[in-house]
């Protein structure tokens, strides 16, 4: 039998339906791959072997009875540890939630499970999704499959590394300022951030409520489209989700070149300036050349407010984080310091022991920008800048159908390289935060490799709820580039 871990999710589901392999065989192949590579990568914080095999066995029994298989039948899926999975630890990469066992599935997890997917584990992440490298996890860092001395990106670095290393063909992540797209670019995966409100946030532990959005990381654009079509849609438990379906999404990623014909592509000049690595610049410009050759109309545009995006994001995000994380006080759930003599001391000692340094830093920043005397100078100005960014993007989309830009300014940096320089770490998100501030859909796809063999990502941004447009363009570009077909052997396989 062919190596089952070499197939993407769509192909694996077809293999199961045809009877070429059972769900148990597919699950076992991926679990063995995880066991072989986890000592090097540390993609997971929880591996659910027994439950995964039970799910797979149930799928095989259902098929033997002639029952109809779901669209993701037998596909192994990993879930970022910020999304709840019933009865299994949801730590958010933090000591403060090390004892938390949720009694329910996140809506997106429940929908993936109902589609026949086999949930195999919870992936490592930056604590409470605060970070760009997955080094800020209380359980240790994840490593990049292409170079074990480098980061996989963050905060969904565990999910990205799991997909890139073929531990799973599909994983769920969350994106607050680029935390799906940035690790996808660093690790050589497809990462899709849906429109804000496209996917329910019920069961997603909040970092910044107006920015957070769950989405898939995958081996192919068609898998990302298939997963989003299942995850999306109304949910009575989330008042921020849009009352619209996702009927057109799964068909968008056909990979046909006609998706580029006549497409108006905007290239924001603000994304191609100082700080952009020449190899990243060249790879993204090759994508633009391919799009133009496929019939797209490519033009450079100016969006002046983008220069405010990174500062605006880190004010808005930290302000919301300081409010959301106030619930973690040792009273309701998770860690509690039982030696404290007073309630105030229990609050203080629980948070001191439970939160990591990056989370404490962002809580303090957020509390400061919301405090009396500084609210107008910082938070109010940031909200005004956010409005300006949205308006200028709306204007840009009257002239363009999509925007194309680098996903990250550089390839993956080395472990420890930016830990002592938070501002340098924050700048890794400089090209991704814009889509979150405006609530726009965006996808990152692999578009080549650096001379050192590190993946490079190209980002496509679209109008609100036009995932079908960006996925169609991404699939056509993916088919033309074949970027991952020429990939070198995974670093973990060379050991």
Pair of tokens at residue 483: 């970027």
Looking at residue 333, the DSSP 8-state letter turns out to be S
Q: Beta strand pairing status for 402-406 and 297-301?
A: unpaired
Residue spans of alpha helices (H) in 294-356: 309-324, 343-354
Catalytic residue among 7, 22, 43, 80: 80
What is the C-alpha R_g of the chain?
Answer: 21
Catalytic residue among 13, 43, 155, 468: 155
In terms of phi and psi (left: phi > 0; alpha: psi -120 to 50; beta: otherwise), the region of 213 is beta
For residue 219, which of 493, 491, 490 has the smallest C-alpha distance?
A: 490
Assess contact for 240 and 206: CB atoms under 8 A.
no
Cβ contacts of 468 within 8 Å, gap of 6 or more? 248, 249, 251, 252
Catalytic residue among 179, 200, 220, 322: 179
For residue 318, which of 380, 368, 352 has the smallest C-alpha distance?
A: 368
Distances (CA, A) of 100 to 78, 302, 352, 379: 19, 47, 18, 32
Residue spans of alpha helices (H) in 357-440: 357-370, 381-399, 422-426, 433-438
Assess contact for 238 and 232: CB atoms under 8 A.
no
φ/ψ of residue 422, rounded to 5: -55, -35
- Other residues' Cβ atoms within 10 Å of the Cβ of residue 289: 11
* Catalytic residue status for 137: no
Distances (CA, A) of 359 to 151, 259, 313, 433, 462: 19, 42, 16, 19, 31
Assess contact for 364 and 374: CB atoms under 8 A.
no
Cis link prior to 155 (omega < 30° from 0)? yes
* Catalytic residue status for 155: yes
Rounded Cα–Cα distance for residues 409 and 429 (Å): 8
For residue 124, which of 66, 188, 183 has the smallest C-alpha distance?
A: 183
Tell me the catalytic residues.
80, 155, 179
């Amino acid at each position: 039998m062919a190596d089952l871990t070499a197939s993407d999710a769509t192909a694996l589901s077809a293999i199961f339906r045809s009877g070429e392999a059972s769900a148990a065989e597919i699950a076992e192949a991926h679990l063995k791959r995880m066991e072989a590579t986890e000592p090097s990568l540390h993609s997971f914080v929880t591996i659910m072997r027994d439950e995964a095999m039970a799910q797979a066995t149930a799928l095989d029994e259902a098929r033997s009875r002639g029952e109809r298989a779901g669209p993701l039948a037998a596909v192994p899926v990993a879930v970022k540890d910020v999304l709840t999975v019933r009865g299994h630890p949801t730590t958010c990469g933090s000591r403060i939630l090390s004892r938390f066992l949720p009694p329910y599935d996140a809506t997106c997890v429940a929908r993936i499970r109902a589609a026949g997917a086999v949930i195999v584990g919870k992936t490592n992440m930056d604590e409470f999704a605060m970070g760009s490298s997955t080094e800020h996890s209380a359980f240790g860092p994840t490593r990049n499959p292409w170079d074990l001395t480098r980061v996989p990106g963050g905060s969904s670095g565990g999910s990205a590394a799991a997909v890139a290393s073929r531990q799973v063909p599909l994983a769920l992540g969350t994106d607050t300022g680029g935390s799906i797209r940035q690790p996808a670019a660093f690790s050589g995966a497809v990462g899709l951030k849906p429109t804000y409100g496209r996917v329910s946030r019920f069961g997603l532990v909040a970092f910044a409520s107006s920015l957070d959005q769950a989405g898939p990381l995958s081996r192919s654009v068609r898998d990302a489209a298939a997963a989003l079509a299942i995850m999306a849609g109304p949910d009575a438990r989330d008042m921020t989700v849009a009352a619209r379906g996702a009927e057109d999404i799964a068909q968008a990623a056909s990979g046909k070149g006609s998706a580029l014909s006549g497409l108006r592509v905007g290239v924001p000049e603000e994304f191609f300036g100082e700080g952009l690595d020449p190899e990243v610049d060249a790879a993204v410009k090759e994508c633009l050349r391919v799009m133009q050759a496929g019939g797209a109309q490519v033009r450079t545009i100016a969006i002046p407010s983008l220069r405010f995006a990174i500062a605006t994001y880190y004010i808005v995000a930290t302000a919301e984080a300081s409010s959301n994380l106030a619930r973690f006080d040792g009273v309701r759930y998770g860690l509690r310091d039982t030696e404290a003599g007073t309630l105030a001391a229990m609050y203080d000692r629980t948070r001191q022991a439970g939160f990591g340094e990056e989370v404490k830093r962002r809580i303090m920043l957020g509390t400061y920008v919301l405090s009396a005397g500084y609210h107008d100078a910082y938070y109010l100005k940031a909200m005004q800048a956010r409005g300006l960014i949205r308006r200028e993007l709306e204007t840009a989309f009257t002239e363009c159908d999509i925007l194309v830009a680098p996903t990250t300014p550089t390839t993956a940096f080395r472990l420890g390289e930016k830990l002592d320089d938070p501002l340098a770490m924050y700048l890794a998100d400089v090209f991704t935060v814009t889509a979150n501030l405006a609530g726009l859909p965006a996808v990152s796809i692999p578009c080549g490799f650096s001379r050192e063999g590190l993946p490079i990502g190209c980002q496509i941004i679209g109008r609100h709820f036009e995932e079908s447009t960006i996925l169609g363009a991404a699939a056509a570009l993916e088919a033309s580039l074949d970027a991952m077909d020429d990939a070198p052997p995974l670093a973990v396989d060379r050991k």
